[in-house]
Structure 1
Amino acid sequence: MDWAGLVSSVQVRGTFTTFACRVWQEVFMSHAVPEPKRAWRTGTAPGIFPLLGHGIAFYRQPLEFLNSLPAYGDLVEIRLGPQRAWMVCHPELTHEVLMDPHTFDKGGPLYDRLGKLMGDGLVTCRQPTHRDKRRLLQPAFRPSHVVDYTDLVTEEAEAVCRAWPTGETVAVTEAMMALTTRVTSRVLLSDSLDDRTTAEVRDCLAAVVRGLFVRTVVPIDTLFRLPTPANRRYRRALSRLHEIIDTAIAQRRQSADRDDVLGTLLKAASGEGAPAAITDQEVHDHLITLLLTGVETQALTLASAFSLLALHPEAERRLHAELDSLLPEGQRPGPGDLPHLVYTRCVVSETLRHSSPGWLFTRVATKETELAGCRLPKGAAVLYSPHLLHHDPSSFPEPERFDPDRWLPGQPTAEQRRAMMPFSAGNRKCIGDEFAMVEATLALATIAGRRRLRHLPGYADQKPRPGITMGPRSLVMTCEPRSRMPAAASRAPRATAAPCTSDTRTAGDHVVDNA
């Protein structure tokens, strides 16, 4: 039917003719002329070694290899050992993958390896069981509960400062690992771990994350059954972690209940407070998962923040000015200070963009599907990299420049928010994302308010040591006392971050506006 002719034949003046024309244009023409689909580029990365694939490039020069991939397409085929895999190099494609967890489920070489460590925990479980597991753990990470952890974080951060002798060198990464291990273990297990066991957990986690990476990029099990020192070290660390968790669970069963994550899990195991009872193995798996994911990533974020601040004195000066204007000398930040630590949180956000510790993740196609016009078989491994997305110059101009101002309220564009995903996106977004931001913000504010860290003479950026996480694993700096700025210099407008309005199911960003 000629709709244009029909409308033009209506001899009625005024609003009806206008209305009819609009209906024709907006309804019928929108169906007749659909918007063209974006033309995605696909390709294959060169330099495939027999048997090892791109494993050598990933291990020797991980970031350089990642940064080279967008030149070959928005979706690039690579090899992990002899296995084919596809790297997503564009933010929109990454969101397409993460927002469809039924098609692109947790899996692939990384999660296959993590599953052997974590069991069927929240991070590694498949989509059909994810909802119930998340519901069980979510109360411990609600914003109202996260605020309760404020004193815990600042108390541990202040202890770090007391242990650092001013005027001498300090092992920053090691200290941050000790800090985040103490915080995470107290959130999960209260005071179940003594100082010696906490130090063991820290060392075991460091050995495990290094071993997991090489097992991911070269997934050939035969190589890791050999009795090499590295393989023995990995197995010992793995065994000891499981032993520590089992001991903590056994001891808790014989003592009084505690209001912590272990207490919640044990109630669920007994059939209390959950739709269905969970098994003892699930209690273990949840604890090992949260311990592994809550320690090293946070430690590396803080170590990177102190390293970057030492290299960028203007950002450091503005951070100190904010802290001096908000906190009287010697006072630790409290829950009421969090909304006003705007620039401090900007420093954390920019550190997560510039030096994201979670830099490589995998998914697996649950069925034959199409992505970027490319047919992927069932079981195909699909990878994405926050580092790659965060360093895309089309999203972040001058991506190598450390600039906390990118995240001041009102500054980030919608495109930057979507490209910023240190905690993933969709319904598998990290359950502890807000706790992680609060912990890093409070720890940074507490330590930077008391100490100033300087790089050693002749410092050069450390070459990243690849692991499941990425960051400065052996950072050593000089610790100096920090004198407060004069009142006039430190006085600044009392900015307040906007209230959190993000949807954890769909948000890909986590910036200062979400404080």
Structure 2
Amino acid sequence: MSAVPDAPPGVARPPRTTPDDAVVPTAPGALPLLGHALPLLRDPVGLLQSVRAHGDIVRVRIGPAQVYVLNSPELVRQVLAADVESYRKGTFHEKFRPYQGDNLFTIDGPDHRRRRRIVQPAFHRDRLKTYAEVMREVAVTRCASWTEGRPIDVGAEMYALTSEVVARVLFGGEIGSDRIGRIQRWLPVFVRGMGRKVILPAGWLDRLPIPANRRFDAAQHGLRALVDELVREQRADRGPAGEGGKERDDLLSLLIGSPDPESGRPLSDTQLRDETMTFMTAGIETVATTLTWLHHELAVHPEVRTRLLEEVDTALGGRPAGFDDLPSLPYTRSVVRETLRLHSPAWILMRRPTAPVTLGTARVPAGAELVFSPATLHRDPAIYPRPAEFRPGREHDEPAGDPRGARRPPYLPFSTGPYKCVGDHFALTQLALTVATLAQRWRLESASARAPREVAGAALSPDRVVMTPRRRAHQAV
């Protein structure tokens, strides 16, 4: 069974309003003064899921502030892609800025377009083929440390695996095990602490001298200092004006040597650090979380695991998996896609209109906070039949559609439009290659009858997944 409870089946949505009665309803359960702050803190995804029954746009109060929750795929597409120039990123992204700086996740408008032109070439197809070799090598080395029959914390293992991949891709194979170890030690503390601080409405809690805040501050300082050190080293390796230095092929070197195509200006050291920190937090947390959920789902759906193993064995024939093998692994990629649908790490997005806008039949004022959740859109029974079922291949079904006329079911694990995650293909490549590489060697079985619980932080993560590795009879070379 899935770890996610099904959305209420057969929920009848209120009929579309006409312009004469376009009043945005307020979600029930608001408390005096607090509004919906308590349920938001206890179970933010559950709150966002519950308001879907009350209309395409629903108001939620957080203290005195009001936010508009968008539940319609059409409205989400309008905001994210069709009418993108009318919106800026909202409070959720702004609250990340003190911890991650100005980067592709936090900036918007012309600044975002300029920065994306610089960063995008580092994720082109030819670069992905090079990164894929690192992904496979790290996966092989990591799972070689497992012992038959000895339980492992899958989340910790996937975090260690993905953090080493990202560290080597970002900084090159010469980064050294000591520095990788520091990233592996500091990054989980930083990411989970950052997620807690972003969700909590009271900023003064961040300044209390409690152990969690001290650990977070130490992790943030350590990561920033390490990245600054690596940026300085890479600058020195390139030599004056980027010439005559050591030839490097890592992502950070590519960013250092990629000026803005229009202005010719390179990224500053601070900008390089901010982009590097963001790639580490997003690239490691998202992939590690997805791999953890995926192996849990394989264990509780043996028919899916059997089909995946058969495909891997047939397509690869025992040889190492590579980038060019991905087209031969369609079911493996479907398993990845379905995991990202059911367990979307990106569970909340926000936008803010720069002028009054019309969404459906509702008039929304300038500066209003708009919230939408990829996780709850992916679990809407009016869009995805039996949404809590883990069913790889559902993307090949005839779209069930939506009584409101959606063109196709929304699928937003990496957002969409001009602000779509620049590293989406990197993540998809790593997920598929890692799954195939581990499946050639091991079968992971659940070591606990308890289903993992979702924890909403910077990503939607499982609390703990313990599994027992079983060595496969026919292993890859």
Residue 339 (structure 1) shift: 0.5
Give the structure 2 partner of residue 245 of structure 1.
Answer: 227
Q: Name the amino acid aligned to 2:265.
A: A
Residue 41 (structure 1) shift: 7.7
Q: Report the CA distance shift for 1:213/1:323 in structure 2 as closer, same or farther (over 3 A).
A: same
Residue 246 (structure 1) shift: 0.6
Q: Report the CA distance shift for 1:437/1:370 in structure 2 as closer, same or farther (over 3 A).
A: same
Structure 2 gap ranges (5+): 1-17, 238-245
Give the structure 2 partner of residue 352 of structure 1.
Answer: 340
Residue 323 (structure 1) shift: 0.8
Q: Deviations over 1:411-448 (max 9, x none)?
A: 55775854111110111111111111111000000001
Give the structure 2 partner of residue 364 of structure 1.
Answer: 352
Give the structure 2 partner of residue 28 of structure 1.
Answer: none
Matches within 5 A, 1:192-271: 193-255=175-237, 256-268=246-258
Matches within 5 A, 1:319-358: 319-329=308-318, 331-358=319-346
RMSD: 2.4
Q: Would you say 1:288 and 2:270 are equivalent positions?
A: no
Q: Name the amino acid aligned to 2:256.
A: L
Structure-2 separation of matches of 1:143 and 1:39: 50
Please give the secondary structure, in 1, of the residue aligned with 2:281. helix
Q: Report the CA distance shift for 1:63/1:221 in structure 2 as closer, same or farther (over 3 A).
A: closer
Worse-superposed segment, 394-403 or 372-381: 372-381
Structure-1 separation of matches of 2:427 and 2:417: 17
Q: Name the amino acid aligned to 1:267.
A: G
Q: Report the CA distance shift for 1:204/1:87 in structure 2 as closer, same or farther (over 3 A).
A: farther
Q: Report the CA distance shift for 1:111/1:235 in structure 2 as closer, same or farther (over 3 A).
A: same
Q: Report the CA distance shift for 1:439/1:274 in structure 2 as closer, same or farther (over 3 A).
A: farther
Give the structure 1 partner of residue 374 of structure 2.
Answer: 386
Residue 201 (structure 1) shift: 2.0
Q: Name the amino acid aligned to 1:305.
A: L
Q: Would you say 1:101 and 2:81 are equivalent positions?
A: no
Contact 1:41 1:74 in 2 (8 A): no
Give the structure 1 partner of residue 454 of structure 2.
Answer: 464
1:453 to 417, 433, 444: 444
Please give the secondary structure, in 2, of the residue aligned with 1:45. coil
Matches within 5 A, 1:125-144: 125-144=107-126
Q: Name the amino acid aligned to 1:443.
A: T
Structure-2 separation of matches of 1:176 and 1:419: 28
Matches within 5 A, 1:32-71: 42-49=24-31, 52-71=34-53
The structure showing larger relative contact order (alpha-carbon pairs under 8 Å, at least 6 residues apart) is 2
Q: Would you say 1:300 and 2:289 are equivalent positions?
A: yes
Structure-2 separation of matches of 1:449 and 1:153: 15
Which structure has the larger Rg over C-alpha atoms? Answer: 1
Q: Deviations over 1:50-85 (max 9, x none)?
A: 555433212322332222011122111113444221
Q: Report the CA distance shift for 1:295/1:80 in structure 2 as closer, same or farther (over 3 A).
A: farther
2:128 to 118, 143, 146: 146
Structure-1 separation of matches of 2:153 and 2:430: 20
Residue 373 (structure 1) shift: 2.8
Q: Report the CA distance shift for 1:103/1:418 in structure 2 as closer, same or farther (over 3 A).
A: farther
Structure-1 separation of matches of 2:466 and 2:24: 42
Give the structure 1 partner of residue 299 of structure 2.
Answer: 310
Structure-2 separation of matches of 1:47 and 1:211: 29
Contact 1:42 1:72 in 2 (8 A): no
Structure-1 separation of matches of 2:205 and 2:154: 34
Q: Name the amino acid aligned to 1:352.
A: L
Structure-2 separation of matches of 1:145 and 1:365: 36
Identity of aligned residues (%): 36
Structure-1 separation of matches of 2:408 and 2:183: 35
Structure-2 separation of matches of 1:404 and 1:479: 23
Residue 193 (structure 1) shift: 3.4
Please give the secondary structure, in 2, of the residue aligned with 1:42. coil
Q: Report the CA distance shift for 1:463/1:373 in structure 2 as closer, same or farther (over 3 A).
A: same
Give the structure 1 partner of residue 435 of structure 2.
Answer: 444
Q: Would you say 1:426 and 2:422 are equivalent positions?
A: no
How many residue pairs get aligned? The number is: 445
State the TM-score, normalized to the length of structure 1. Answer: 0.81
Contact 1:350 1:402 in 2 (8 A): yes
Q: Report the CA distance shift for 1:289/1:403 in structure 2 as closer, same or farther (over 3 A).
A: same
Contact 2:351 2:371 in 1 (8 A): yes
Q: Name the amino acid aligned to 1:101.
A: V
Give the structure 2 partner of residue 395 of structure 1.
Answer: 383
Give the structure 1 partner of residue 71 of structure 2.
Answer: 89
Q: Deviations over 1:106-146 (max 9, x none)?
A: 222x2112111221111111212111111111111112321
Q: Deviations over 1:179-210 (max 9, x none)?
A: 11111122221135332332332343322332
Q: Report the CA distance shift for 1:263/1:343 in structure 2 as closer, same or farther (over 3 A).
A: same
Structure-1 separation of matches of 2:141 and 2:125: 25
Q: Report the CA distance shift for 1:455/1:237 in structure 2 as closer, same or farther (over 3 A).
A: same
Structure-1 separation of matches of 2:408 and 2:197: 32
Q: Name the amino acid aligned to 1:236.
A: A
Structure-1 separation of matches of 2:19 and 2:417: 23
Residue 456 (structure 1) shift: 1.2
Q: Name the amino acid aligned to 1:365.
A: P
Q: Deviations over 1:208-263 (max 9, x none)?
A: 33233333333322222222222222222222221111111122223324122211
